[in-house]
């Protein structure tokens, strides 16, 4: 009798744990259809998006024409390119957002950053609820699943 209940609980816990990681992480192609290029307003592209830890940025461009460097705030402002070995150059570079906070990216080719605006700054939010519309639904989902797990656990005990 108890085995069936225990299976339900195990299933519910699995769903609660696995679903947020598989369905909520978002992959963003930087610049959308324009990709990673010159003379594109990346701040305008980023301004209506909510970036969370676990999301991915994909920088798409013709290999050799551009590249991608993760930099700090001052190098972003001055378009200072770091050591070339730290650059991403595949033409389809996937960056997983590992930690909350501001992240800065520039192109290191020619004066693409300095003169042609090829630079992106985003603010990555953690999993904790923040006063943003998107996070409310994520938080609500996790709360809902927690309640389901607790209720099923109680049913299983009795």
- The residues of the shown chain that bind Cu ion, judged by CB under 5 A, are 66, 107, 109, 112, 118
**Cα(86)–Cα(67) distance, rounded to whole angstroms?**
10
Concatenating the DSSP letter of every residue in 120-138 gives: EEEEEE-SS--SSHHHHHH
Q: Which two tokens mark 96? A: 């997983």
The smaller minimum CB distance to Cu ion, of residues 27 and 115, is found at 115
Taking the least distance from each CB to Cu ion, the nearer of 31 and 55 is 31
Nearest to 127 by CA among 58, 72, 55: 55
Minimal distance, residue 125 CB to Cu ion, in Å: 28
Least Å from the CB of residue 129 to Cu ion: 37
Closest separation in Å from C-beta 40 to Cu ion: 10
- What is the gyration radius of the CA atoms in the chain, in angstroms? 21
Q: Which is nearer to Cu ion, 97 or 106 (CB)?
A: 106
Beta carbon of residue 26, minimum distance to Cu ion (angstroms, whole number): 24
> Distance (Å, rounded) from C-alpha 110 to C-alpha 115?
9
Q: Closer CB to Cu ion, residue 110 or residue 140?
A: 110
């Amino acid at each position: 009798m108890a085995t069936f209940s225990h299976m339900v609980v195990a299933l519910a816990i699995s769903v609660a744990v696995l679903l947020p990681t598989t369905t909520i992480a978002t992959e963003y192609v930087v610049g959308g259809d324009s990709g990673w290029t010159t003379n594109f307003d990346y701040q305008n592209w980023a301004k209506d998006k909510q970036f969370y830890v676990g999301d991915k940025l994909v920088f798409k461009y013709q290999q050799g024409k551009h590249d991608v460097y993760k930099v700090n705030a001052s190098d972003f402002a001055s378009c200072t390119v770091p050591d070339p070995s730290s650059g991403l150059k595949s033409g389809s570079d996937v960056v997983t957002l590992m930690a909350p906070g501001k992240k800065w990216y520039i192109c290191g080719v020619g004066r693409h950053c300095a003169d042609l605006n090829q630079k992106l700054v985003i603010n990555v939010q953690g999993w904790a609820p923040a006063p943003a519309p998107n996070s409310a639904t994520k938080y609500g989902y996790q709360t809902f699943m927690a309640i389901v797990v607790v209720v099923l656990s109680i049913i299983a005990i009795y």
